[in-house]
Structure 1
């Protein structure tokens, strides 16, 4: 049976639900010796909640026998007023970084102690959160210096798993021009071009983590050239081919539907289980 602990604050000075996370813990003798999997949800920087992914987290926890944490983060409003000070990038990724920094230092719940090995972290990003995680773990400091992770976090993260990712914003808008009004303009501002915020040109911060990119050929919301461009960029940075891999064949569901079935859980879980010395 999987235990769960809900609505745990990761920003101690905040009472916002968007600064809370849920964690699902396997029924094993010593969970503190096992890795933590962190799933950062997507939603075009403007939608979704950790509660939407409770069943996904529970199943992934069961498959891997690892704790699975799902944080919220602050979202850009769908229809901000013209005079509103809009919450936008890099604020969403700053929250994700705050959560990950909290996770490697957290002592666990009162009476139970540590629920995972904080030196073994796996992070999963889907859709817009793939961009958020790439902005953290690649060096985006020229555009967003607030997204600089600590050396201890860089050392703890063993693998970064990104699926259906948005990486090159300008290329995305060529393929899907309606996305500018739908969410890019609000999340990033009204700019002529978004090249400074695209992650397909960023330097590497650390050679420690593995990178695994996933994309479904049936995805109609984000096209495969996004993942191909990101894979090409990462392989130009990381010269160990075992550390940058892609899977464009295992997932056949639509962009969000994949999170509702068992296939994506199996693909992600088996990748994590297959990482050397992890489980």
Structure 2
């Protein structure tokens, strides 16, 4: 059972502000299960929720939990000037989708909720990891519009980030061509992108657990990105880091997006999510 193209904003006909929910079966489980939410990547400029239906279906089958995949508005591929959609707009859309999911009463065809709005597991891939870390770490000094409400913070149990972009300056030191390709269009043209490095943001909620995944075969985003975020989260969590911050950087060997198509990635996510269930 799937519910597609659900508007999460007042712009009900905007396909970039809609989400899909994939159920693990044809009936709503009782008691209501937690919800998994996947924020896709695409360098802030490409991809669509429909491209991730296989992953969502595989995750729903493996965990027994529904999986939501929201779209968000994208930066134009070839913006004519600086007056275009860019950060933090993408993350604001993702936050709006998450807030919507905490209050949604379920599809009219069912007539009741289809998941527990008080238990969320969040996933972000590539730039989706930057969005989640911008929201659930304290970026208020730079992007105050990304502050999550208390109800959402309480709902989030774990955050799983794969092949993440966290430190743009560090990324550009290895991939300088990324500046013109997607960084400047998404963040504006500037000498340094240090204000948007999520590896400098303070902790908001120490209760949330984090898993950092990175494939050895990823040639688009290098491992130092995930290493930097892992170290930052460990420092923020201090003596609790060993139980709250985890990483998997040795198991996968596929390319940046290819890992999302395989069941090995799904198994890693499933085991991490179900560990506390």
Say whether the 8 Å CA contact 1:31–1:66 is kept in structure 2: no
How far apart are the structure 1 equivalents of 2:207 and 2:117?
Answer: 15
Alpha-carbon RMSD: 1.1
**Which among 10, 17, 28 is matched to residue 19 of structure 1?**
17
Q: Displacement, 1:224?
A: 0.5
Which residue does the alignment assign to 2:90?
Answer: 92
Q: Distance between the aligned counterparts of 2:252 and 2:172, measured in 1?
A: 24
Give the 3 Å change call, closer, same or farther, for CA 178–61 of structure 1 in structure 2: same
Unaligned runs of 5+ in 1: none
Q: Deviations over 1:148-205 (max 9, x none)?
A: 0000100100000000000000000001000001000000000010000010010001
How far did residue 74 of structure 1 move? Answer: 0.2
Over 3 Å counting, the alpha-carbon distance change for 1:19 and 1:148 in structure 2 is same
Q: TM-score, normalised by structure 1?
A: 0.95
Mapping for residues 15-54 of structure 1, pairs under 5 Å: 15-27=13-25, 30=29, 33-54=32-53
Shift of 1:111: 4.0
Cross-structure match for 2:8: 10
Whole-angstrom distance in 2 between the partners of 1:242 and 1:252: 26
Determine helix, strand or coil for the equivalent of 2:200: coil
Residue 193 (structure 2) pairs with residue 204 (structure 1):
no
Aligned equivalents of 1:197, 1:90: Cα separation in 2: 10
CA distance in 2, matches of 1:139, 1:216: 27
Identify the residue that residue 69 of structure 1 maps to in structure 2: 68
User: Quick one: distance in 1 between partners of 2:109 and 2:72?
Assistant: 27
Per the TM alignment, residue 29 of structure 1 is displaced from its structure 2 partner at its CA by 5.6
1:29–1:13: structure 2 CA closer, same or farther, 3 Å change rule?
closer
Instruction: Give the structure-2-normalised TM-score.
Output: 0.96
**How do residues 1-279 of structure 1 correspond to structure 2 at under 5 angstroms?**
3-27=1-25, 30=29, 33-82=32-81, 85-112=83-110, 113-239=112-238, 240=240, 241-274=242-275, 276=276, 278=277
Name structure 2 gaps, 5 residues minimum: none
SS at match of 1:38: strand
Q: Distance in 2 between matches of 1:196 and 1:106?
A: 34
Q: Secondary structure of 1:254's partner? A: coil
Say if 1:154 and 1:208, in contact at 8 Å, map to a contact too. Answer: no
Runs of 4+ that moved beyond 6 A: none
> How many corresponding residue pairs?
273
